[in-house]
Every structure is written in C-alpha cells, then in structure tokens.
C-alpha cells in the first residue's frame, strides 16, 4: 500500500496538485473538493533498464480531495506512452552481439522491420520482422516474427531479442496501472494502459 501511495503521489506532483493544494492548505479548506479531470504530459522518461520513452500522457477522472482525512482519491486514470524508433533502436542495439552490426529499425503498421548485417562465416544483410507482445498485463516483450535468412542467423536474432525482454515493465512507471494495448504505426509504438481507484494520503 505504501508503494501504491508513493506512486500515486507522484501523479499528483506531476499534475501540480501541491502547487494548488499545498499540505498546509488542508486546514483552510471547508470541505471536500472534487476535480472532474486532470491531465499531464511527461517527456523524455528514462526507465531504469535504459529505454527512453518519448512521452507519456496521463489523464485522471474524478479526483476527490478530502480535507478532513488529508487524502485524495483518484477514481480512475489512463495513460498513453509513446516510443520512437530512434529510442527503441538505441535501447536494442546496446545488447547486440559483435557479429550483428549496422542495425536500422523501421516501423510499419503492426510490426517493426530490423535490417542489419550479421557475420556468420560470411557477412550478410538480414531483414527481420519483429512484433511486440503484452505479457501478464504489465510487460512488453519483443518477439521475432520472421527473418529472410533462416537457420543459425534466425537463431542469433531471436536469442538477442529474448535477452532484451521485457523492454517495458509497468512497475517502472510512477503510478499503479496495467497495460491494455500496444499499437505500432509508422511513427510510434503506443502503449495504452489504465488504473483503478487509488487512495493518496
């Protein structure tokens, strides 16, 4: 509960609640305050394991501030996290084995295309299609969908991707939530999620 409370407090800090309702002001309020909605935009979020999320949009539905209990209840919250191909490639290429070089990542509808050079006896150019799967409503894993060079080369690519997982863990975000969907378009990997009622004290 303490961890959930700490995470929820960060959401309030992001939304500038302390600036509007500093702790001492609870004494001056005559009753509960209800806020219909609250929104915040976070940019350049560096996760502990190295992935940088370009931006996260957070929206909360009714927030009730109880002046007597000196607490607040966020009834529900949603978020959209967007990851660019530049940031995702920067994360993935850190763990590439020496025989995999010059990676280029492109986003197409519903999948990613990784073009790279792989040295296995001889050096060859390889094109692999990669997807993202949601696991247990909290993790994102990258998975190999297909590769134009089967056999050992496919094994090298697949093993490397497996070592990267998970690329995203919901527990690294500063609020309680679960992952609802992950969509890949030409610009972003967009991760949407939601959270239920949270008590903040």
Q: What does the pLDDT look like over 81-111, one tens digit per residue?
A: 999 999 999 999 888 888 889 999 999 988 9
Alpha helices per DSSP H over 21-167: 85-93, 152-164
Percentage of the residues of the chain whose pLDDT score is greater than 70? 78
Q: Are residues 88 and 67 in contact, defined by beta-carbon separation less than 8 angstroms?
A: no
Please give the model's pTM, rounded to 2 decimal places.
0.76
Structure tokens at 121: 């006896």
Alpha helices per DSSP H over 59-175: 85-93, 152-164
pLDDT beyond 70 at 177: yes
């Amino acid at each position: 509960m303490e961890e959930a409370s700490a995470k929820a407090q960060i959401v309030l800090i992001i939304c500038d609640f302390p600036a509007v309702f500093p702790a001492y002001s609870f004494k001056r309020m005559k009753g509960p305050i209800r806020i219909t909605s609250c929104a915040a935009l976070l940019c350049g979020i560096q996760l502990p394991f190295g992935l940088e999320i370009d931006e996260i949009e957070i929206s909360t539905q009714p927030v009730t501030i109880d002046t007597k209990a000196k607490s607040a209840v966020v009834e529900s919250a949603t978020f959209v996290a967007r990851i660019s191909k530049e940031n995702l490639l920067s994360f993935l290429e850190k763990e590439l084995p020496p025989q995999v070089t010059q990676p280029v990542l492109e986003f197409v509808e519903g999948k990613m295309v990784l073009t790279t050079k792989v040295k296995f006896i001889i050096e060859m150019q390889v094109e692999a299609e990669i997807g993202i799967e949601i696991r247990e409503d909290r993790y994102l894993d990258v998975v190999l969908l297909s590769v134009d060079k089967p056999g050992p080369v496919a094994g090298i690519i697949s093993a490397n991707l497996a070592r990267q997982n998970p690329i995203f863990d919901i527990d690294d975000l500063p609020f309680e939530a679960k992952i609802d969907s992950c969509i890949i378009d030409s610009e972003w990997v967009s991760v949407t999620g939601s959270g239920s009622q949270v008590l903040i004290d």
